[in-house]
Structure 1
């Protein structure tokens, strides 16, 4: 008989600590490592997908705004709305296609737009209103939209050639920090009305010639060349070397715009953003930084309005 009083008729097959002993308990307390974060757990994707579907069922409400994909520079733009589309077609804006909603309630503007598009060889496409909503990115289109090709920007020196060919004193409008395409379109209208030979914009962190700019310009961009510079400061420096004076427009200017003596000279008018005004580097390239005199109650003017006032003043001086 073995020690402890138990018979040992056959050898034990158990290995390691017996059940109920401290060895098993210690192993059970060792754990399986750190708890993985939520996004690494097997159920996370299914839960996230369910929450997304639930938000869409409730109308798309979300604590975070959807990330909008960056539009390719080669992608076409769209102008929506009956008046803007008709104005663009009459002004000769280059267009690829006119989209008209199915079962649209025709009026004189729609019929005229279709006629002008047909006369100019613009394709006519009948589509659903849902597709028009997607093309115009949810903007008000009133059942019609005009597809225009991506804008082909000029080189800054081309604007000087336009003035030279017209045998006129150069007048160029430059935008510094203007990020709203509607302001760009409004400034284009004023620039065209008061005889500017072109507009210069930066290629980064600035509004470009988009569908919104075309719409606000009411066709003016069809008659005004827009150049784009990778470095606005360097482009202004080159204009100065070519004999142009640079007048910056900023609420912090020390001279009123109607008192500037350079308005009859070859000129670049630089319009700053409504909130920040002119950047420091651009201000250093200006021969004069001027302001528009206003009553104290008015804090500032919209960039488009300020450009219109200034360009009118330039035109008034040049008529003398």
Structure 2
């Protein structure tokens, strides 16, 4: 765990931290308002963990969240640092449900990384996996765009993505990569209900050849308009929530 601190804001993000990793929360800043049915349980939970709770005006919370939608609550936390290959193995061993993973193949824009982390956390993904080299990491920009998700969802940086995909397949995880290449099927026609890793390609270039070769299926998102592809963070949302739809159903 790093000694660096950051602010996480929003009712869902702060509540999730207090429920699952309260040791990372250092203090709570809440909106100085009258009774709030959504905010009060979070304040009480923080106090139960012995945390200091300070009440602030909305303008002060706006400054802490740097313009983000804080919903009346901000928490100062110890920043979550990226995991590695060993952390991924431990995470898979600890899961008591089919793995649901997002793999980013050399996404280099920290804005896109942050947006993908936010979407993955919202979809209930267990971890986001990316190569350690030639890819965006958890920069301040990525953390800000993630709106707290970078402090909630495990972000795993691996040394060899192709080897990691092979290990996932050996562990029974179905690997589905997004591609416009020959042989790709419509994403909606693929069974996404079991152990799953959704692999998204880099901005512009898409999946690297070796990454595509380690996928069980290649799939594309059908488009009604003339544009053939979406921004990687938007495509990630479409793909993950199609998986969520199937897994809920």
Q: TM-score, normalised by structure 1?
A: 0.56
- Structure 1 residue 308 displacement after superposition: 3.6
Distance 1:313 1:141, change over 3 A: closer
Say if 1:188 and 1:199, in contact at 8 Å, map to a contact too: no
Between 225-234 and 310-319, report the one with greater CA deviation: 310-319
Instruction: Map residues 205-284 of structure 1 onto 2, 5 A cutoff.
Output: 205-208=135-138, 210=143, 212-215=145-148, 217=149, 222=152, 224-252=153-181, 254-260=184-190, 263-264=192-193, 266-284=195-213
Question: Deviations for 1:193-246, whole angstroms, at most 9, x for unmatched residues?
Answer: xxx44332333422438354243x4xx974x54433233233223223334332
Distance 1:92 1:140, change over 3 A: closer
- Structure 1 residue 189 displacement after superposition: 0.9
Aligned to 1:161: 93
Larger fraction in strand? 2
Say if 1:184 and 1:207, in contact at 8 Å, map to a contact too: no
Aligned to 1:88: 13
Give the paired residue count: 228
- Structure 1 residue 273 displacement after superposition: 3.9
Q: CA RMSD in A?
A: 3.8
- Structure 1 residue 111 displacement after superposition: 6.0
Q: CA separation in 2, counterparts of 1:242 and 1:300?
A: 31
Between 172-181 and 201-210, report the one with greater CA deviation: 201-210
* Higher relative contact order, structure no. (Cα contacts within 8 Å, ≥ 6 residues apart): 2
Structure 1 or 2, whichever has the larger Rg, is 1
Identify unmatched segments of 5+ residues in structure 1: 1-71
Say if 1:77 and 1:211, in contact at 8 Å, map to a contact too: no
Q: 1:106 aligns with which of 33, 42, 47?
A: 33
Question: Deviations for 1:261-314, whole angstroms, at most 9, x for unmatched residues?
Answer: 6x3554321123454422333223223221011113344334344334323444
Q: TM-score, normalised by structure 2?
A: 0.69
